[in-house]
């Protein structure tokens, strides 16, 4: 039996609330202090010696955090917030890129925190965290804190250093497991881990976030999945995303370890911060289970107070500096050279971009499926005095402050040539032609001659190059003073489809060389292709009924001018259907259809959502969802 913390005292108590004369029938109320550690407890009843029953009988209860109790550190005053961030077992995890925040449809996710073995799995994670083996009494005491529990779960959801739930894999090779794009929810992942006690393969950031949301809500901590577009990965705690070139303009790859991801998904939890001074840091805190960088020798992150992140107070909470760099780092190009000891030293700042990181920070709106923008909770508006002050505060505590501070905040020199990159098409779909456009503007009064090169590569959403797609040159291009020249590179589907990797991301780089003065100008942009609508979902009846088996037919039609092989069609839905997959080894040609039929028995009434995923060897992540009404169990009165 799961129950919630309630009393404001430090001690447990029981009282009889009902008794039946001289019979041995008593109803007891167990009063649980609000500071009780969450987890399993054994309740033991001791009977009189003259009883015909055994002298002792025991049972078990599970204590959870309580967002309904105003004295609990996770208390949420509004009922709609509790319903969303604790009770809602269905949600949205945003992906895409900064120009298309959701793609054609938002990515639905089955959190499923009330499904069988989910809470048991979360308790197993807390009970087997390696910290409890080193300091069991302290660890048990700390389990009264949502801050501590969320930090433990951020470490245990990934398998990086403690055989936790999920193996991260960004290689594009998933033959011995499932592609990260396969998953539509957390339930099967946590159930499989609890059953086998072995890490599940594979996940990337949105999967880690979805699973962590499930675990946090299951234990009673208000939580949500949060997506940041153009999210920075600062590997050296400088609060800047650093690109290094030498005096000849060549990239110094030995130093280039920072990156900007198309998007990154982590979590917010709601709790007080009694471990920090005052009450400024109460409220939303960022936590992250994706294994990026170590914190205290473990792959864990947070909870970092959003108020600290916003003000650049990187010393507050856990890992606030890392979160700050993800959402508000400056992108800096440094010119370096080697000294007499063959070590690189900074010569100057070539370029400092102050608004390229941390766009459109998004979560699901309370009570609906629309996007809510929460950027204002993480950062001030770009370019404002408050935002610059926050950056300067954060930078002063970073690793680069001592040696690099004098090189920052340098005004950029005016450029005679300006590159602007884009795609002609707004709705970018796999299987359709793509037109990459280079606008080259000559801001000077003199005519110039330019050699232009455009390079298009497929990339992972983390920014790492996967494969060269196309390279095209335009030589001796004349651009008059104050004039603009437009050049296009056309991509046909057969040129790029087989070069795509996870999430179908591409990078477009343009390099312009002015022949008169030998100057180089470089710019780049990223974009993502979304899969075409190609899935039809048909229930055999509507509405459905709790406890009555039903059937759904899922049809996938190949929308691409290539043959697709090894078709995997999967369904699942919170309170509706457990994960079920059918695999077809026969290849599917263009415009041909593969149909799969699934039987399932709805378990919960109300509006429910069936999630469908189709993966193939060549292209993955075809998604669809269908809402359906489920009636209560007949004559149940529910």
CA distance 504 to 456: 13
pLDDT (tens digit per residue) in 275-308:
999 899 999 999 999 999 888 889 999 899 999 9
Question: Any idea which of 11-15, 16-20, 200-204, 374-378 has the lowest mean pLDDT?
Answer: 16-20
Distances (CA, A) of 108 to 28, 167, 525, 562, 572: 43, 22, 27, 28, 11
Q: Which residue in the list 72, 121, 129, 205 is annotated as catalytic?
A: 205
- Homologous superfamily of domain range 414-528: Immunoglobulins (2.60.40.10)
Residue whose tokens read 């998933």: 174
Q: What is the mean pLDDT of residues 69-95?
A: 95
> Band of the pLDDT at 100, cuts 50, 70, 90?
low
Average pLDDT of the chain is 87
The reply to whether domains 414-528 and 535-631 share a CATH topology is yes
Q: Percent of the chain at pLDDT above 70? A: 87
What pLDDT is recorded for position 526?
87
Q: Which residue in the list 90, 121, 230, 264 is annotated as catalytic?
A: 264
Q: State yes or no: is 53 an active-site residue.
A: no
CATH 2.60.40.1220 fits 535-631, yes or no: no
CA distance 334 to 404: 10
Distances (CA, A) of 289 to 11, 192, 303: 34, 18, 11
Annotated binding site: 328, 330, 382, 387
Instruction: Name the range with the highest mean pLDDT among 207-211, 496-500, 602-606.
Output: 207-211
**Is the pLDDT reported for residue 329 higher than 60?**
yes
Question: Any idea which of 67-71, 483-487, 506-510 has the lowest mean pLDDT?
Answer: 506-510
Distances (CA, A) of 226 to 157, 346, 602: 17, 36, 29
Q: Which residue in the list 288, 319, 502, 621 is annotated as catalytic?
A: 288
Q: What is the mean pLDDT of residues 358-375?
A: 93
Annotated binding site for Ca(2+): 328, 330, 382, 387
The whole-model pTM stands at 0.88
CA distance 577 to 575: 6
CB 550 within 8 A of CB 539: yes
Q: Is the dihedral of CA 163, 167, 170, 174 positive or negative?
A: positive
Q: What is the mean pLDDT of residues 214-232?
A: 96
Selected from 3.50.50.60, 3.90.260.10, 3.40.50.2000, 3.40.50.1010, the CATH number assigned to the domain covering 79-401 reads 3.90.260.10
CA distance 449 to 197: 64
What pLDDT is recorded for position 350?
59
- What lies within 8 Å, CB to CB, of 148 at 6+ separation is 142
pLDDT (tens digit per residue) in 575-634:
999 999 999 999 999 999 999 999 999 999 999 999 999 999 888 889 999 999 999 987
> Band of the pLDDT at 191, cuts 50, 70, 90?
very high
Q: What is the mean pLDDT of residues 539-555?
A: 95
CA angle 136, 140, 146 (to 5 degrees): 135
pLDDT (tens digit per residue) in 104-158:
556 899 999 999 999 999 999 999 888 877 787 877 888 999 999 999 999 999 9
3-class SS string, 322-380: HHHHHHHCEEEEEEEEECCCCCEEEEEEEEEECCCCCEEEEEECCCCCCEEECHHHHCC
What pLDDT is recorded for position 351?
63
Range 272-289 burial, b when 16+ CB lie within 10 A, else e: bbeebeeeebbbbbbbbb
What pLDDT is recorded for position 7?
61
pLDDT (tens digit per residue) in 398-447:
766 555 555 555 444 457 888 889 999 988 999 999 999 999 999 988 99
- What lies within 8 Å, CB to CB, of 100 at 6+ separation is 428, 528, 530
Domain ranges across the chain: 13-63, 79-401, 414-528, 535-631
Tokens of 277: 């001074």
> Band of the pLDDT at 21, cuts 50, 70, 90?
low
Q: State yes or no: is 264 an active-site residue.
A: yes
CB 103 within 8 A of CB 206: no
**Between 405 and 525, residue with greater pLDDT:** 525
Q: State yes or no: is 205 an active-site residue.
A: yes
């Amino acid at each position: 039996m799961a129950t919630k913390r309630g009393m404001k005292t430090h001690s447990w108590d029981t009282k009889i609330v009902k008794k039946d004369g001289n019979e041995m029938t008593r109803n007891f109320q167990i009063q649980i202090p609000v500071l009780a550690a969450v987890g399993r407890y054994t309740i033991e009843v001791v009977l009189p010696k003259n009883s015909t029953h055994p002298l002792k009988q025991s049972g078990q209860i599970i204590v959870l955090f309580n967002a309904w109790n105003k004295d609990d550190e996770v208390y949420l005053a509004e009922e709609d917030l509790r319903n969303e961030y604790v009770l809602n077992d269905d949600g949205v995890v945003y992906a895409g890129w900064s120009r298309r925040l959701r793609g054609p449809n938002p990515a639905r996710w089955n959190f499923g925190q009330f499904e069988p073995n989910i809470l048991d799995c979360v308790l197993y994670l807390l009970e087997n965290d390696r910290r409890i083996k080193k300091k069991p009494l302290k660890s048990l005491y700390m389990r009264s804190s949502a801050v501590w529990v969320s930090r433990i779960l951020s470490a245990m959801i990934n398998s990086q250093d403690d055989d936790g739930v999920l193996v991260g894999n960004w290689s594009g090779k998933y033959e011995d497991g499932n592609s990260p794009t396969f998953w539509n929810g957390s339930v099967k992942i946590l159930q499989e881990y609890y059953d086998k006690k072995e890490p599940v393969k594979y996940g990337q950031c949105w999967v880690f976030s979805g699973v962590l949301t499930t675990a946090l809500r299951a234990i009673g901590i208000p939580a949500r999945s949060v997506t940041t577009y153009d999210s920075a990965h600062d590997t050296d705690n400088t609060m800047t995303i650093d690109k290094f070139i030498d005096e000849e303009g060549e990239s110094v790859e030995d130093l280039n370890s920072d990156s900007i991801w198309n998007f990154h998904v982590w979590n917010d939890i709601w709790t007080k911060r009694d471990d920090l001074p005052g009450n400024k840091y109460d409220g939303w805190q960022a936590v992250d289970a994706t294994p990026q960088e170590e914190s205290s020798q473990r792959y864990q992150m947070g909870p970092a107070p959003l108020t600290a992140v916003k003000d650049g107070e990187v010393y507050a909470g856990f890992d606030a500096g890392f979160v700050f760099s993800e959402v508000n780092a400056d992108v800096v190009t440094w010119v370096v050279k080697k000294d007499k000891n063959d070590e690189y030293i900074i010569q100057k700042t070539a370029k400092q971009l102050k608004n390229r990181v941390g766009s459109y920070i998004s979560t699901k709106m309370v009570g609906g499926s629309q996007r809510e923008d929460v950027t204002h909770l993480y950062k001030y508006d770009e370019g404002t005095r408050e935002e610059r002050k926050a950056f300067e505060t954060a930078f002063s505590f970073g690793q680069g402050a001592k040696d690099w501070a004098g090189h920052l905040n340098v005004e950029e020199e005016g450029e005679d040539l300006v590159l602007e990159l884009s795609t002609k098409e707004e709705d970018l779909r796999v299987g359709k032609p793509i037109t990459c456009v280079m606008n080259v503007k000559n801001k000077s009064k003199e005519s110039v001659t330019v050699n232009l090169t455009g390079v298009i590569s497929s990339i992972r959403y983390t920014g790492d190059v996967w494969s060269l797609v196309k390279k095209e040159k335009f030589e001796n291009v004349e651009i008059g003073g104050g004039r603009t020249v437009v050049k296009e590179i056309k991509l046909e589907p057969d040129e790029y489809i087989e070069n795509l990797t996870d999430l179908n991301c591409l990078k477009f780089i343009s390099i312009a060389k002015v022949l008169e003065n030998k100057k180089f100008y470089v710019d780049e942009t990223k974009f993502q292709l979304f899969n075409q609508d190609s899935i039809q979902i048909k229930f055999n009846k509507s509405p459905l009924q709790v406890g009555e088996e039903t059937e759904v037919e899922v049809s996938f039609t190949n929308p691409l001018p290539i043959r697709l092989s090894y078709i995997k069609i999967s369904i699942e839905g919170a309170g509706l259907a457990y994960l079920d997959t059918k695999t077809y080894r026969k290849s599917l040609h263009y415009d041909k259809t593969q149909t799969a039929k699934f039987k399932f028995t709805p378990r919960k009434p109300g509006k429910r959502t069936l999630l469908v995923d189709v993966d193939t060897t060549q292209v993955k992540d075809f998604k669809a969802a269908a809402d359906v009404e489920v009636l209560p169990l007949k004559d149940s009165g529910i």
